[in-house]
Amino acid sequence: MAVTLRRRWLALGLGLCMAGVLVMLGLSGCSLRSTRAETGSQLVLSTLQDPKTFNYALNQEFPSIFLFCYRGLLREEGTTGELQPDLAEAWEISPDQRRVTFTLREGLKWSDGQPLTADDVVFTYRDVIFNEKIPAESQETLRLGENRTLPEVRKLDERRVEFLLAEPFAPFLAATQGPPTDIVILPKHKLEPSIQTLDANGNPLFLSTWGTDTDPAEIVVNGPYQIEQYRPGERIIFRRNPYYWEQTPQGQMPFVDRIVWQIAESTDTQLLAFRSGDLDAIGDVRPLRPEYFSLLKREEKRGKFTVYAGGPWSGNTFITFNLNQAKNAAGQPLVNPIKSRWFNNLAFRQAIAHAIDRPRLINNIYRGISANQDSPISVQSPYYLSPEAGLKVYNYDLQQAKQLLQSAGFQYNTDGQLLDTDGNQVEFNLLTNAGNKLREAMGTQIREDLNKIGIQVNFTPINFNTLISRVNDSRDWDCVLLGFTGGIEPHGGANLWTSGGSSHMFNQGPQPGQPPLTDWVVSDWEREIDRAFAAGAREFDFAKRKPFYDQFQKIVQEQLPVIHLVHEIALMAVRDRVEGVKYNGLPSWGLWNLQELRVRD
C-alpha cells in the first residue's frame, strides 16, 4: 500500500499560471541543469515531497526511494499484471496450498558486496514484517483468516525459504512482490542489531533506524540503484548499484548510470522544468494534469518528447472523515466530540457524497479526461464491481443531500447555515497536500459545493509529510483529500480497509511504538469488511472468491468511510532520448521498468 496522492488543477488561464512562476523556472531550471552528469548516462525525474524515511518498514508514502533501491521475492509485470520472478527465481505451492517454497537466484549480493541469502528473507519477514512492535504496513496484507494469524517462515538452505500458512491464502504470492506496493527484502547484517536492542520504552531501536538524516553510505540496498546524496528540499541522487543481479545479453542492468530525483515545489514547477528540457519525464508517479496533456500534446515534435496515454489509472482519489472515537494517552478525544457525532452519522456522510458535484470536477478540473469513481477496487481488477452490476452510487443531488441532513436532525438558520440538533454550526477542516495543484483545485471546489448545503469548510493544503503525520500519528484532523495506489489483487488494500491495518486512517487503532489509545470502537460494518477479506483470501477459485469482494465494495459504498471522487486517465510525457518505456494505467509508477531504460544522447 502506499499512502499516495495524485491530483491537479484547473487551467483557467495556463498562461497566467506560467507567468506567475517564471522566476521559479529560472531558479529550478538552473538547479536542474547543474546536476547533469558530465560522464555516464543520467535521468532527471521529480517528486513533490521530501522522503519521510529511508526505513522500508516505516514507509507509508508513494512515491518513495524504495522504487529505485529495493526488490522483493516477486514482481508484477507492469503491462499485464502477471507475477514474475525477481530475487526469487522460482516458487512452489504444496497440494494443500499451505506451504510455499521460494528459491533465490544464485549469487545475489547487497550493494555493499555481502551475499543476499535465505537468512535475509527470514529476517525480513519474521523479525521485521511480522514483528508486533513494528508498524509495518505489509503486515496486514499477510494476516490469515479471522484469527489474523501470520505465516511461519523458515530457512531450508542458503537459497530456499519456506512459508507455512495456517490455511490456504490466495493473495500470498501477490503480497511477496516488491515495490511499489508490497514487501522488499532487507539486509540482516545491517539491521538485525537494531531489532534486538530496545529503547527505554521497550521498543526496538529499529523504529528510529535509517531516518532521512542517515548517511546514504550506510543504506544498503538490493535494487538497481543506491542513494548517493540527499539534499532536503532539493534532490536525491541515485547511482547505479554494481551488484544488482539482473542482466541481459546487452549487459548488466540498470543501463542508466545515475538518477537525479528533483524535489519540486508544485506540479506547475514540474511542468515548466519539463518544457525547458530539465526533466526527462513528467506524470510518471501520478498522471499528468489534463490541461498539461493538451498543452504538451501540441509540443511533442518540437520538444522531442512523447505523450503517453495509458487508459484508466489504477489509483484512486477520495475524501474521508475522521471517524475515530478513541481518546489519547491524556484522556482527550482525538476528534472534537461535536464533530465526531456529525462524522459518525451515516446520513451526514451520504449527504456529503450527494453534494459534491463530480460532473463539474470532471468537466472543469479534469477537462473531461476522467470519469466518476465509485469503487475501492481498481477498474482493471477482475474483482471490480461496476454500478451496472449493483454498486451503489451517489449522484449529484443537492435536494437529496438536504433531505438526508434534515432527516438526521440537522436544520437551517435564517442565513442558510446548517446547524446540528444542539444549534452548533456545522463547520470542519479539509486538508490535502500542498503543491499538487489539481488536488488543491478539487479541495476548493468541494468547499464551494458544500457551502451550497450550508456547511462551512476550511480548506488548507499543507506539507505532505506534515499531513501524513497528522493522519497516522497525532490523528489530529477532521477530513482529508488523499489517494491510494491500486492494482489487480484486492487484498493489497487490506492495510487500509481492515480494522487492524496501520493505514486504516478513518478509524486507526493503536499502533506499535505510539502512545496508547483508550475507548477505540470498531463498528459492525468494519467487522463485516474484516470477515469479507478473510473469507475472500481463503478462496483460490475466482468464482467463489469474487462474491466476498463484491460484498466489501457494497459495504464501503453503503457506509461511506471514504467518499470516492474521480477516476483519472493515465497520462505521462517522456523525452524521446529515453528508450524502453512501457506505459499503461495498471502500475502506480509509469517508469516501473526503470532498470531496462536506456538514454540516448
pLDDT at position 287, please?
Answer: 86
Q: Which three cell numbers stand for residue 566?
A: 474521480
- Is the pLDDT at 9 greater than 50? The verdict is no
**Alpha carbons within 13 A on the beta-carbon side of 165:** 22
SS3 459: strand
Q: Note the pLDDT tens digit of each residue in 420-459.
A: 999 999 999 999 999 888 899 999 999 999 999 999 999 9
- Is there a contact between 150 and 175 (Cβ–Cβ < 8 Å)? no
Same CATH fold, 74-193 and 3-69+195-311+571-599?
no
- Is the pLDDT at 94 greater than 90? The verdict is yes
Least reliable range by pLDDT among 22-31, 171-180, 441-450, 540-549: 22-31
Least reliable range by pLDDT among 333-337, 399-403, 584-588: 584-588
Distance between CA atoms of residues 270 and 392, nearest Å: 38
- For residue 107, the Cα-to-chain-centroid distance in whole angstroms is 32
- Is the pLDDT at 12 greater than 70? The verdict is no
Q: Note the pLDDT tens digit of each residue in 504-524.
A: 999 999 888 788 899 999 999
Interval 310-318 mean pLDDT: 85
User: Cα dihedral sign for 382, 387, 391, 395?
Assistant: positive
Distance between CA atoms of residues 512 and 507, nearest Å: 16
Higher pLDDT, 493 or 118: 118
Q: Which of 61, 68, 107, 63 is nearest to 87 (CA)?
A: 107
Least reliable range by pLDDT among 121-125, 195-199, 264-268, 485-489: 485-489
Distance between CA atoms of residues 587 and 285, nearest Å: 10
**pLDDT classification of 8: cutoffs 50, 70, 90:** very low
- Is the pLDDT at 31 greater than 90? The verdict is no
Interval 211-228 mean pLDDT: 96
Distance between CA atoms of residues 69 and 223, nearest Å: 4
Q: Which of 277, 279, 250, 251 is nearest to 264 (CA)?
A: 279
Write down the domain spans for the chain: 3-69+195-311+571-599, 74-193, 316-568
CATH architecture observed for domain 3-69+195-311+571-599: 3-Layer(aba) Sandwich (3.40)
**pLDDT classification of 39: cutoffs 50, 70, 90:** low
The CATH H-level superfamily of 74-193 is Dipeptide-binding Protein; Domain 1 (3.90.76.10)
- Is there a contact between 309 and 568 (Cβ–Cβ < 8 Å)? no
Q: Which of 219, 234, 232, 184 is nearest to 54 (CA)?
A: 219
SS3 549: helix
Higher pLDDT, 549 or 484: 549
- Is there a contact between 104 and 116 (Cβ–Cβ < 8 Å)? yes
Residue whose entry in the numeric block shows the C-alpha cell 529505485: 68
pTM: 0.79
CATH architecture observed for domain 316-568: Roll (3.10)
